[in-house]
Amino acid sequence: MAVTDTNSWTGIREELLRRIHDRVWEPGAQIPHEADLAEEFGCARTTVNRALRDLAESGLVIRKRRAGTRVALNPPQRATLTIPIIREEVEALGKTYRHSLLERAYQPVPPMLHGVFHASLGEDVLYLKTLHFADERPYAFEERHINLDTVPQARERKFEVSSANEWLVHNAPYSRGDLSFSALNADEDTARILDCTPGTALFTMERITWTGDAPITHVKLIFAAGYRMRSTI
Amino acid sequence: MAVTDTNSWTGIREELLRRIHDRVWEPGAQIPHEADLAEEFGCARTTVNRALRDLAESGLVIRKRRAGTRVALNPPQRATLTIPIIREEVEALGKTYRHSLLERAYQPVPPMLHGVFHASLGEDVLYLKTLHFADERPYAFEERHINLDTVPQARERKFEVSSANEWLVHNAPYSRGDLSFSALNADEDTARILDCTPGTALFTMERITWTGDAPITHVKLIFAAGYRMRSTI
DNA sequence: AAAGATAATATGCATGCACATATTAACGTG
DNA sequence: CACGTTAATATGTGCATGCATATTATCTTT
């Protein structure tokens, strides 16, 4: 019994998954060795290994070298969420993308960012206000600060043709970033810009990216009403 | 030159990564075949394959069967976000967690879920309304549907002591899930439950989890005003 | 020349084997 | 008996090979 349809590693993964799900192997319990499973399924150990590795990557089982493989007690719920470039996101919806630069200024570091941009307190940052459109309807409103200490080449960029986001992605690769998501009631200005009524709940994403210890940029994106961010586990 | 320290697949991945980063292979450009790379690095094709597969998983290269491998034009920005069990999230804030079951009923599949729960259209689902507290203040409001076809053991559970979330995590491991996040204006009911004024922008998370093709549960979590979901890249 | 059949090709995957490495269990010695 | 050494073991990884499969290019046939 327990013969999988195919001997593909995905087939074996499904069968292992079934056993975990059906509590043939309870949470915390040790599961048979790769070699035993390989024999049972009539396949090579490599194939079982691939299936188990995949389950381990998704956090369902814990593997240790000599200790064997056991079913995770608290399978972590991790989701990888892809933050697309807005232009691509819009174009993926089959709509036409356009953006418009509302404001471009050199400013001292705003108080809100003193904590993170402290490295360049004396220096000005490049401040950009951009509105992204999908089929000529407002899609997202972007406020951005660029650290000119870290990315001095940005000082000369107009950011009228290609958006700051795309330029930075290609020219200032970051090593890490902090993200936060929240809901926001539209104030008068935002409502006007995003073409909604004041008070509308808007999905907001804030992001600060760094290269090493140096902050590159801070972005606040306020999406038009009805936006949903999607992801899969 | 270009000899990696080791012939490990991670070493090769690092070298490929460097070439992409240093624009030896420009975005959109095709990179050599596995066989050629294997020869260059003096290793087996399997090893190159493993490195390339890993890069493809993280979205840096795009692979197609006969078309070959090319550097992604716009490397997607991925963030891993950990979705904690609410109790743990609250306790991590140093607050006391409590939840209260507001409603528990057997219902036909609601129209909203016909698309996803179609496998059990005739069958009832278990519907739960739960309010989560942090230090006796409302933290999140949860509406949940549990597919009794997939998780029949849930029919007998009261979910008064341990929350449905925790019970499901331990008893019905899922293989995949769809997540979506949005902002929502509080209606009269929600405002009353979450102790805010109607119209307040609330952060909302919706999740459907599956085991194979069978849907396990659908959850809608509406967080109290001011909630921020955080993550790092 | 357009459409359909066929060949070529790059990745995807399975196998059997060997060795590396981390970890635990067993062993010995003071 | 405590503690350090050694052996056993399960996973991790690499290799050579062969076949599967998707996709593109080419070669027919009408």
DSSP string, B56-91: HHTTSEEEETTTEEEE-SS--EEEEEE---HHHHHH
Task: Check if A83 contacts B (Cβ < 8 Å).
Answer: yes
Q: Which tokens in the block code for residue B49?
A: 């394959």
pLDDT tens string B4-43: 456 799 999 888 988 887 788 988 899 999 999 999 999 9
pLDDT: is B114 or A69 the higher one? A69
Per-residue pLDDT at B6? 64
Looking at residue A3, its pLDDT comes to 43
Contact B179, B205 (CB under 8 A): yes
Looking at the domain that runs over B9-71, which CATH code has it been given? 1.10.10.10
- pLDDT in the model for residue A2: 42
Which residues of chain A are in CATH 3.40.1410.10 domains? 86-223
Using a CB-CB cut-off of 8 Å, the residues of chain B touching A50 are none
- How many CA atoms within 13 Å lie on the side-chain side of B40? 15
Q: Which residue has the closest alpha carbon to C23 C1'?
A: A66
pLDDT for A38 equals 93
With an 8 Å Cβ cutoff, is A14 touching chain B?
A: yes
Can you name the residues that pair with A218 across neighbouring β-strands?
A: A145, A208
Question: B112 versus B62: which is more confidently predicted?
Answer: B62
Rounded to the nearest integer, the mean pLDDT of chain B is: 87
CATH number assigned to the domain covering B86-223 = 3.40.1410.10
CA–CA min distance B223, chain A (Å): 10
Task: List, for residues B155-185, the tens digit of each pLDDT value.
Answer: 888 888 888 888 887 777 776 788 999 999 9
At B121, the pLDDT band (50, 70, 90 cuts) reads low
Query: What value does the CA radius of gyration of chain A take, rounded to a whole number of Å?
Result: 25
Residue A163 tokens read as 């958006």
pLDDT at B119 over 90: no
Concatenating the DSSP letter of every residue in A53-77 gives: HHHHHTTSEEEETTTEEEE-SS---
Question: So what's the pLDDT on residue A4?
Answer: 46
Nearest CA among B34, B116, B19 for reference residue B69: B34
Relative to beta strand A228-232, strand B176-185 is: antiparallel
Is pLDDT above 80 for B213? no
Report the candidate in A25, A89, A14 with the shortest Cα–Cα distance to residue A52. A14
Mean pLDDT in order along chain A per 10 residues (233 residues)? 63 89 88 92 92 90 92 80 85 91 89 72 83 95 90 84 81 77 95 95 93 84 94 80
Scanning the structure block, which residue is given the tokens 């940029």?
A217
CA–C1' gap, B115 and D30, in angstroms: 47
Q: What is residue B134's predicted lDDT score, i.e. its pLDDT?
A: 95
Span B216-228, average pLDDT? 94
Rounded CA gap, B72 and B88, in Å?
Answer: 38
Nucleotide nearest A68, CA–C1', reads D10
pLDDT at A161: 80
Count other C-beta atoms under 10 Å from residue B191's C-beta: 17
Summarize the confidence of residues B185-210 as an average pLDDT.
94
In chain B, CATH 1.10.10.10 covers 9-71
Mutating which of B46, B47, B77, B203 best tests the A interface, going by the most A Cβ atoms within 10 A? B77
Q: Is the pLDDT of residue B59 over 80?
A: yes
